Homo-oligomer: A and B are copies of this chain.
């Protein structure tokens, strides 16, 4: 029943998806939907919660627990892109619908994002420690970078899905998730490394405010 809701919300959007259609897609009668899930809002919330949890679970399950920070990020990204590629409707609901139809729903997605942000933040902290991190990273700066990273990943996920829609599906998806994750790593890891090394970009060029010398000009 929630599956039907995910599908319909993704295809039609929150407002345009009618309870009639959801019930029909689910193969049950409308009053039954109201019996189990009290209202359209509740139904949408339930959908968001379930899909959020599934995405977070996929991400969490994908990371290799004891590995180095870069490998943990790499495997997490692979998990994320695989999941969004394999469940495009779910991703569409979370990424597009849930954030555009009122505060209550947006908050639920924000919570999911916060969870992922925490995962990324921890990762950065671990990486800093591994790197014998010289510079102390301001909490606000780390949060900003985490959000940037997440946003980049989301954007890439959407872009990859759009490309997949046009082309074939199936086996390709898997390799696509890997490629996308690689692009993310190439884009993000060097910047993270620099940051942890204490280097900062300024209008005058990259400078090393703290830590061992050796900054790139």
Contact = CB atoms under 8 A, between A and B. Distances in A.
Interface of A: 13-16, 70-71, 74, 96-97, 99-102, 141, 143-145, 147-156, 158-159, 178-180, 182-195, 199-203, 205-206, 214, 216
A71 B71 CA distance: 32
Given A70-B205, A148-B184, A193 B190 contact: yes
A15 B17 CA distance: 11
Contact of A187 (B97, B102, B191): B191
A164 B183 CA distance: 31
Copies of the polypeptide in the assembly: 4
Contacts of A191: 186-191
The 3 A-B residue pairs with the shortest CB-CB distance, nearest first, are A151-B155, A15-B15, A190-B194
Contacts of A158: 151
Contacts of A183: 141, 144-145, 148
Nearest to A162: B110
A59 to B, nearest CB: 17
A114 B204 CA distance: 29
